[in-house]
Amino acid sequence: MKEFIPILLKYVRSRQLLGGVVVLVSHNARTFDVPFLKNEFSRCSYEIPEDWLFADTLPLARSVMKSKGPKVPTKISLQALREHYGIPLIGPAHRALSDVHSLALVLQRLTYDLKLPVSGLIQGSFK
């Protein structure tokens, strides 16, 4: 991670709009991904940039479940959501590229179902 973090920071900065925020999206971000990143950044003597926000698809999926009732899966794992939306698995599950592909398409479907614009996604993000 000590070698990876500077590469990640440079990569993200190279794609960030001037004055814009970065929104990193993951499924279960609040309890898994973000604490992991915070710990690793701290362990390697880095700070997560102030303009980075995190969006978690898990609460979005829970909101969809509430609004649609029994039409949605009771499990809300990324795999269950992918299957619910009929999104084909590209490559093996729980591999970075495959999960990113699934997450991107699940996010599109969740925001569509919730009629959630980008501004709403950003507003619901956290640091």
Cα–chain-centroid distance for residue 109?
Answer: 13
- Whole-number Å distance between alpha carbons of 53 and 73: 28
Decide if 101 is catalytic. no
- Residue 23, SS3 per DSSP: strand
Angstrom CA distances, 50 to 5, 61, 80, stand at: 15, 27, 33
Q: Choose the catalytic residue: 27, 84, 94, 101.
A: 94
Active-site annotation, residues: 94
